[in-house]
Amino acid sequence: MKCPYCDHAKTQVIDTSHDARGGTRRRRVCNKCGQRFSSYERPILATPLIIKRDGTREEFSREKLRAGIRIACEKRPVAASDIDRIIGEIEAELQQMGRAEVKSRLVGDRVINKLKELDEVAYIRYAIVYLGLDDLVSIRGEIDRLLIGE
């Protein structure tokens, strides 16, 4: 792997660790400049196409999912690592299904369940858009369900 600091082609692996999703983190040192850096490898598995509400299909996008979750978590005490973990879990679940296509509702349901566990305010923000809560009565109903633990 090339060094990101000096662009030298020879680097040496000094430590390797694995995560639960099959990824590998390698700590490396450049043979020329001596700088240390990390690389992350994860297997490339096929993710299904997402069938949108209008019937169109599009590729699964980690960045699109990240953007939606970040908006819901804005100004909340939610770490970027938690957002990345949620995205990784959802992507892994979709890949493990082994299907060529899944409805966008399935992805949205997974996001909403994970946000509910992570941060209730972020959950409500996401739910307002995702569930189409377009008036105060429906938003209040969702908050009441959260408060009584449904």
Judge contact between 33 and 3, C-beta under 8 A. Answer: yes
Q: Is 5 within the bounds of a domain?
A: no
- Asked if residue 144 and residue 99 are part of one domain, the reply reads yes
Q: Is the pTM of this model over 0.75?
A: no
pLDDT at 106: 93
- Kindly give the confidence (pLDDT) of every residue in the chain, 150 residues in length, as a single tens digit, with 9 standing for 90 and above: 999 999 999 999 999 998 766 789 999 999 999 999 999 887 766 789 999 989 999 999 999 999 999 999 999 999 999 999 999 999 989 988 888 999 999 999 999 999 999 999 999 999 888 888 888 888 888 888 878 875
- Asked if residue 79 and residue 23 are part of one domain, the reply reads no
Q: Which residue has the tokens 């949108």?
A: 52
CA–CA distance, 37 with 39 (Å, rounded to integer)? 7
* Residue among 88, 90, 97 nearest 19 (CA): 88
- Asked if residue 102 and residue 53 are part of one domain, the reply reads yes
Pairing between β-strand 101-103 and β-strand 49-51 as defined by DSSP bridges: parallel
- Asked if residue 76 and residue 144 are part of one domain, the reply reads yes
Q: Is 126 within the bounds of a domain?
A: yes
pLDDT at 129: 87
Q: Is 62 within the bounds of a domain?
A: yes
- Asked if residue 78 and residue 16 are part of one domain, the reply reads no
- Asked if residue 139 and residue 100 are part of one domain, the reply reads yes
- Asked if residue 144 and residue 86 are part of one domain, the reply reads yes
- Asked if residue 27 and residue 57 are part of one domain, the reply reads no
Instruction: Give the structural domain span for 75.
Output: 49-148
- Asked if residue 119 and residue 59 are part of one domain, the reply reads yes
Give me the number of domains the chain comprises: 2
* Residue among 115, 63, 130, 62 nearest 91 (CA): 62
Coil, strand or helix at 4: coil
CA–CA distance, 60 with 50 (Å, rounded to integer)? 6
